[in-house]
């Protein structure tokens, strides 16, 4: 490798971005990509946040020169960890560009260029922050040699000579911090989001991605995992909800072991093994606890669970929402998402839509769970006009797109197998997937099978896996015309015609109107003679006369049957609505009485505090009185001793003096009597005050309970 050259010079006058070079989305891991090219990091609950990576769809190896750039919009809580670089085919999605050989990347946090996991350059000189633009220009020099230039704010920062022998070289953008957001300036959005289904069924949902969910043509979804502690099974619709199609519903057929069923909206890159509502960019209603989950593992709102037979719905309020030209909501706006149970709205919340679409999603997570997606449309039945015309003339379609068979398409990306990117590769567990999907799933030489969840070590890469030629041969077989020799002729037995039991099985060709019986020719003479008053007509004439009447009866019967079916459905919905109303009323009653009980508990504590405060005041007063009385008692004791000594000593002077001072004794008696009376009154005042507070609180709560009961 040659040494890197650094500089701070202006780029050429005409940047390659002006030549019409664009980047389209390929693989996206833990990142939301909107239609304008804004990339938002999807945070994780892990202690160490994983790397988010966006990989371009097209290889730059065949282009003489390519340029792309990003603008840092948000840096998160700490410094920006965004990166821009080039990676080979099969690169791990959990690694930043430049962390693994052979790859190269320019990192914003330290301003260094990483190759083979080592940083090179001047530490901190080209560090990027919010508002900065990071650019990459790659020019092909020889077969596997490239000149790579990195720019900061359109000024050249680094220039390298880089070698990569991979079959494909892809542009990549990495992020590694919660809250990070960058804008891929020369991003080109896919224009295939519109429903490719007939106009009369444009309100239906077709399959996009699924994991551990068995899907039947009529929209029955079943949880297919049999191993304990299996991950969540998810069904994600192919197309986002839009202005014309803003809601969908499912009916719970079987609750399974735990009734862990969810319905909600997610972005296009949502993880398979997570219930909707658990991660950023998703919101959902869960049947087991009846709460809504909005980008959190904990639910909110009143618990309104759903049981077997209930219909769960999800949608968003279209008024006030801004849309693009395709009717998809524009990114970075708040929308109101609502959920229903048996056609009654039970939850509503504000949801911040960051981009990536509002894809209808169903989650299943326990054995035996089965739901019916009411708005489902089997995409295998969709055929374009070209295919229909080919079938009309007995030919075959010219394109492989008409082949709709799970045997010849990858169950992960739903793409038909071919001999290039979607070559069918066979895992050791004998499950086949296309090479492109296996390259994405490969992580440090480890692949987890999407079907059976077995772990396989692939040391030599995906290309070393055996190609499933049985699948490719099956595809060719499906495209061939069916010859006459391929048709198995079956013996056609003639329809058995009943004859008359009285006259040697003669054909029943007549009808006696008088006896309402089918008869033969001999019967018209022997038993049903017209001369005896019988009216006989040919059976074909009677058939023509009654066929129209019978058709009218059948038509009326069909109408009556349909009306009865609609009436039954409405009555069942009425019962379900009553159940929902009952649950809601129970919840409101529990809430009101819990509030009253809590208020009474709070008031009880408040009353005790008031009584304690009154007690302390009265006790302090009584204590002071006791101290005063004790002092008087001591004086009385001294006086009593003095009087006893005077009497015992027979001291005339002391006896006369003390006897003449009788006011002291009378004042002391009056004082003691008043103290005793006041203390007793204080105790009565405390008891009376407590009773008044209690009776007042009791009357207040009686009124409150009466009002809540009336409500």
- The tokens for 392 are 């009309």
CATH superfamily of 5-184: SPRY domain (2.60.120.920)
Mean pLDDT of the chain: 78
Residue listed under structure tokens 């009980």: 597
**Could you give the C-alpha distances from 534 to 231, 303, 529, in angstroms and in order?**
78, 75, 6
What band does 579 get if pLDDT is binned at 50, 70 and 90?
confident
Average pLDDT over residues 472-494: 50
Max CA distance (Å), the chain: 169
Helices 539-649, 652-660: crossing angle, 10 deg rounding:
140
pLDDT of amino acid 436:
84
CATH 3.30.70.270 fits 201-381, yes or no: no
pLDDT of amino acid 203:
59
What band does 45 get if pLDDT is binned at 50, 70 and 90?
low
Q: Do 438 and 425 contact (CB within 8 A), yes or no?
A: yes
Q: Do 242 and 327 contact (CB within 8 A), yes or no?
A: yes
Handedness of CA 577, 578, 583, 589 (dihedral sign): positive
Give 202-259 pLDDT, tens digit per residue.
457 888 888 889 888 888 999 987 666 778 899 999 888 988 889 999 999 999 988 9
What band does 16 get if pLDDT is binned at 50, 70 and 90?
very low
Average pLDDT over residues 481-504: 54
- The tokens for 200 are 């009369």
- The class (CATH top level) of 391-481 is alpha beta
Give 479-488 pLDDT, tens digit per residue.
544 443 444 4
What band does 459 get if pLDDT is binned at 50, 70 and 90?
confident
Give 526-566 pLDDT, tens digit per residue.
777 776 778 888 887 777 777 877 888 888 888 788 788 87
pLDDT of 47 strictly over 80: no
pLDDT of amino acid 101:
83
Give 154-194 pLDDT, tens digit per residue.
899 999 999 888 888 999 999 988 889 999 988 887 654 44
Average pLDDT over residues 619-626: 85
pLDDT of 201 strictly over 80: no
Q: Do 146 and 164 contact (CB within 8 A), yes or no?
A: yes
Across 354-481, the runs of DSSP E, i.e. the strands, are 359-364, 369-373, 424-426, 432-434, 446-448, 455-457, 466-467
Q: Check residues 152 and 203 and name the one with the higher pLDDT.
A: 152
3-state helix, strand, coil in the chain (%, to 5): 30, 25, 40
Residue listed under structure tokens 């009369």: 200
pLDDT of amino acid 71:
94
CA 568, 572, 577, 579: dihedral to nearest 10 degrees? 150
> Which H or E run contains 492?
none
**339-348, 385-394, 526-535, 635-644: which is most confident:** 339-348
pLDDT of amino acid 672:
57
Q: Do 339 and 311 contact (CB within 8 A), yes or no?
A: no
The percent of residues above 70 in pLDDT, for the chain, comes to: 79
On the CB side of 465, CA atoms within 13 Å amount to 28
pLDDT of 623 strictly over 90: no
Residue listed under structure tokens 């995409």: 379
**42-46, 260-264, 452-456: which is most confident:** 260-264
Nearest alpha-carbon partner for 431 in 415, 444, 412: 412
Task: Report the C-alpha gap between 444 and 173 in whole angstroms.
Answer: 19
Across 96-246, the runs of DSSP E, i.e. the strands, are 104-107, 113-115, 118-120, 133-140, 145-152, 155-163, 169-175, 180-184, 207-211, 213-215, 220-223, 233-237
What band does 394 get if pLDDT is binned at 50, 70 and 90?
very low
pLDDT of 687 strictly over 80: no
Task: Report the C-alpha gap between 469 and 302 in whole angstroms.
Answer: 55
Give 122-137 pLDDT, tens digit per residue.
888 899 999 999 999 9
Across 377-484, the runs of DSSP E, i.e. the strands, are 424-426, 432-434, 446-448, 455-457, 466-467
pLDDT of 197 strictly over 60: no
The percent of residues above 90 in pLDDT, for the chain, comes to: 22
Task: Report the C-alpha gap between 356 and 33 in whole angstroms.
Answer: 6
What band does 398 get if pLDDT is binned at 50, 70 and 90?
very low
What band does 303 get if pLDDT is binned at 50, 70 and 90?
very high
Task: Report the C-alpha gap between 38 and 180 in whole angstroms.
Answer: 11
pLDDT of 381 strictly over 50: no
């Amino acid at each position: 490798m040659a040494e890197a050259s650094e500089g701070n010079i202006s780029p050429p006058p005409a940047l390659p971005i002006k030549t019409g070079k664009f980047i389209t989305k390929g693989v996206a891991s833990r990142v939301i990509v909107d239609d304008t090219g804004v990339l938002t990091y999807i945070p994780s609950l892990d202690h160490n946040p994983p790397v988010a990576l966006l990989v371009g769809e097209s290889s730059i190896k065949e282009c003489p020169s390519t340029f792309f750039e990003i603008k840092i919009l948000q840096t998160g809580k700490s410094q920006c960890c965004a990166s821009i670089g080039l990676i080979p085919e099969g690169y791990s999605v959990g690694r930043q560009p430049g962390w693994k050989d052979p790859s190269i990347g320019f990192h914003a946090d330290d301003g260094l260029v990483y190759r083979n996991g080592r940083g090179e350059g001047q530490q901190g000189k080209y560090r990027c922050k919010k508002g900065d633009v990071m650019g990459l220009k790659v020019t092909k020099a020889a077969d596997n040699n490239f000149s790579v230039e990195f720019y900061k704010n359109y000024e050249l920062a680094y220039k390298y000579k880089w070698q990569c022998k991979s079959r494909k070289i892809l542009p990549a953008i990495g992020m590694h911090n919660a809250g990070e957001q960058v804008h891929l300036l020369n991003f080109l959005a896919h224009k295939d989001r519109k429903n490719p289904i007939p106009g009369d069924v444009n309100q239906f949902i077709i399959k996009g991605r699924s994991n551990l969910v068995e899907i039947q043509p009529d929209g029955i979804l079943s949880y297919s995992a049999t191993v304990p502690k299996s991950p969540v099974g998810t069904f994600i619709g192919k197309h986002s909800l839009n202005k014309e199609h803003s809601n969908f519903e499912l009916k719970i057929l079987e609750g399974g072991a735990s009734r862990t069923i969810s319905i909600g909206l997610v972005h296009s890159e949502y993880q398979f093994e997570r219930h909707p509502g658990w991660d950023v960019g998703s919101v959902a209603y869960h049947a087991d606890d009846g709460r809504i989950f909005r980008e959190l593992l904990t639910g909110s709102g009143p618990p309104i669970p759903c049981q077997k037979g209930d219909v769960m719905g999800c949608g968003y309020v279209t008024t006030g929402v801004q849309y693009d030209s395709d009717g998809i909501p524009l990114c970075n706006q708040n929308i109101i998402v609502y959920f229903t149970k048996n056609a009654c709205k039970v939850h509503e919340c504000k949801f911040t839509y960051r981009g990536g679409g509002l894809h209808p999603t169903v989650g299943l997570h326990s054995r035996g769970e089965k739901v019916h997606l009411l708005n489902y449309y089997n995409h295998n039945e969709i055929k374009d006009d070209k295919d229909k015309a080919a079938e009309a003339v007995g030919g075959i379609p010219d394109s492989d797109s008409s082949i709709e068979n799970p045997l010849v398409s990858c169950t992960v990306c739903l793409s038909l197998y071919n001999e290039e990117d979607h070559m069918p590769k066979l895992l050791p567990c004998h499950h086949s997937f296309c090479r492109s999907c296996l390259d994405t799933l490969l992580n440090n030489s480890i692949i987890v099978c999407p079907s059976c969840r077995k772990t396989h070590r692939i040391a030599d890469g995906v290309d070393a896996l055996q190609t499933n030629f049985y699948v490719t041969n099956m595809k060719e077989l499906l495209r061939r015309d069916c010859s006459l020799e391929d048709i198995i002729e079956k013996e056609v037995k003639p329809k058995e015609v009943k004859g008359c039991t009285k006259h040697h099985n003669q054909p029943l060709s007549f009808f006696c109107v008088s006896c309402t019986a089918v008869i033969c020719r001999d019967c018209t003479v022997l038993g049903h003679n017209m001369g005896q008053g019988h009216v006989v007509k040919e059976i074909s004439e009677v058939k023509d006369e009654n066929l129209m009447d019978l058709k009218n009866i059948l038509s009326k019967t069909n109408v009556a049957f349909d009306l009865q079916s609609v009436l039954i459905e409405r009555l069942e919905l009425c019962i379900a609505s009553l159940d929902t109303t009952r649950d809601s009323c129970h919840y409101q009653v529990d809430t009101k009485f819990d509030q009253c009980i809590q208020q009474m508990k709070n008031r009880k504590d408040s009353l005790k505090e008031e009584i304690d405060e009154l007690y302390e005041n009265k006790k302090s007063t009584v204590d002071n009185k006791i101290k005063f009385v004790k002092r008087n008692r001591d004086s009385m004791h001294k006086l009593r001793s003095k009087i006893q000594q005077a009497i015992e000593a027979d001291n005339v002077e002391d006896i006369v003096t003390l006897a003449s001072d009788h006011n002291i004794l009378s004042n002391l008696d009056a004082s003691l009597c008043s103290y005793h009376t006041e203390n007793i009154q204080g105790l009565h005042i405390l008891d009376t005050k407590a009773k008044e507070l209690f009776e007042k609180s009791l009357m207040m709560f009686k009124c409150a309970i009466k009002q809540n009961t009336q409500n």
